[in-house]
Amino acid sequence: MQSRAGSPASPRFRASARIRRLADGAAPYGYLAPALLILGVFQLAPILYVIWLSFHKDTSFFGSAWVGAANYRRMAQDPEVGSALAATLKFMIGTVPVSTLIALGLALLLFEKLPGISAFRVIVLLPFITPVVATTVVWQWIFNPQYGFLDSLLYWLHLPTVEWFTSPFWAMIVLVAYTIWHEAGFTVLIMLAGLTNIPRELKESAQIDGANAPSRFLHLTLPLMGPWIFFVLVINVIGSFQVFTQVLTLTDGGPDRSTTIAGFLIEQTAFQFFDLPYAAAISTAVLFIVAILTVLQFLIGNRRVFYQ
């Protein structure tokens, strides 16, 4: 006896069911397709091109000569690259821990309902939404050794003035201080999101049990803020290798290349010295360094960070 076309046993019914299953399985990829297309065109494709370029002599896609690892061998012998990586490490050590601690402290303060706290929130967030070039001009005036506000204040207090931008040590300090000040608003917003995510019931229970403020912070707030602190650390480490604008406008990589960090060296090599393949090799090396640091952070963070 033949099965009817609409019955589950019929070939037509099985074929339509198979098509529906395939359509249901492909639907999520259809929704993701626009985002994946943008990611591929504007992120993945440039990365692949930079890696390809690092193994060639010039930028011609079809006529460029393959040089293999010559750019990487040159990079390994180039003292400028080693100096830039060392400067980036100093910059990272100076900015990442300090900015994280300051952001956490400011977030704890801004989270409280204190008089005038709304105005203080605006003051904290204002530098982050202000253009880097505009704010670095103000900082150059503050630290100018001839007519700057800070040296004038030191002179008025009968204290020795400082040549801020001619000393490698102080130039790096100014660069680190500016970066912490300018990026504080962004990291504070992340910390505030983490504090908002902590259940109010846990805080009230700890307070009822007699835990004082320092104890509540150490044993409740800090562990629950672990994922947010970890996120800030990861993005700040990655950001340390991407800093460029404030280096250009504040110190121009000086004095004696002491503030020439990785991002600034790549820009100089590519667009001032017009050596794009060599800049691509440096960029690729920096990409792998950042990837290794990120993986190490995740390996350590997964063991120490508590997720609710």
**Can you tell me the mean pLDDT for 150-166?**
90
Residue 93: CB atoms within 10 Å: 12
User: Is the domain of 80 the same as that of 39?
Assistant: no
User: Is the domain of 18 the same as that of 122?
Assistant: no
Residue 303 has pLDDT above 50, yes or no: yes
Whether the Cβ atoms of residue 239 and residue 294 lie closer than 8 Å to each other: no
Domain count within the chain: 2
Residue 101's pLDDT band (boundaries 50, 70, 90)?
very high
Measured in Å, how far apart are the chain's first and last C-alpha atoms? 60
User: Does residue 299 form part of some domain?
Assistant: yes
**pLDDT tens readout for residues 174-185:** 999 999 999 999
d(CA 149, CA 140) in angstroms, rounded, equals 10
User: Does residue 60 form part of some domain?
Assistant: no
User: Does residue 64 form part of some domain?
Assistant: no
Where on the phi/psi map is residue 274: left (φ > 0), alpha (ψ -120 to 50), or beta? left
**pLDDT tens readout for residues 54-98:** 999 887 766 678 898 999 999 999 999 999 999 999 999 999 999
Tokens of 39: 């990611």
Whether the Cβ atoms of residue 294 and residue 238 lie closer than 8 Å to each other: yes
Average pLDDT value for the chain: 88
User: Is the domain of 114 the same as that of 43?
Assistant: no
**DSSP-derived 3-state class of residue 210:** coil
d(CA 241, CA 91) in angstroms, rounded, equals 9
Q: Which of 203, 200, 193, 183 is nearest to 227 (CA)?
A: 193
Give the per-residue pLDDT at 121: 85
Q: Give the domain extent around 216.
A: 75-304
What are the φ/ψ torsions at residue 134 (nearest 5 degrees)? Answer: -65, -45
Q: What is the CATH number of the domain that holds 215?
A: 1.10.3720.10
Residue 64: CB atoms within 10 Å: 15
Q: Which of 270, 276, 267 is nearest to 249 (CA)?
A: 267
Give the per-residue pLDDT at 81: 95
**Can you tell me the mean pLDDT for 122-149?**
91
Q: pLDDT over 90 for what percent of the chain? A: 58
d(CA 188, CA 111) in angstroms, rounded, equals 10
Q: Which of 237, 251, 268 is nearest to 80 (CA)?
A: 268
User: Is the domain of 48 the same as that of 80?
Assistant: no
Lowest-pLDDT range of 3-7, 20-24, 283-287: 3-7
User: Does residue 65 form part of some domain?
Assistant: no
User: Is the domain of 126 the same as that of 159?
Assistant: yes
What lies within 8 Å, CB to CB, of 270 at 6+ separation is: 276, 279, 280
User: Is the domain of 155 the same as that of 269?
Assistant: yes
Give the per-residue pLDDT at 60: 74
Whether the Cβ atoms of residue 233 and residue 100 lie closer than 8 Å to each other: yes
User: Is the domain of 96 the same as that of 200?
Assistant: yes
User: Is the domain of 22 the same as that of 154?
Assistant: no
Lowest-pLDDT range of 74-83, 107-116, 243-252: 107-116
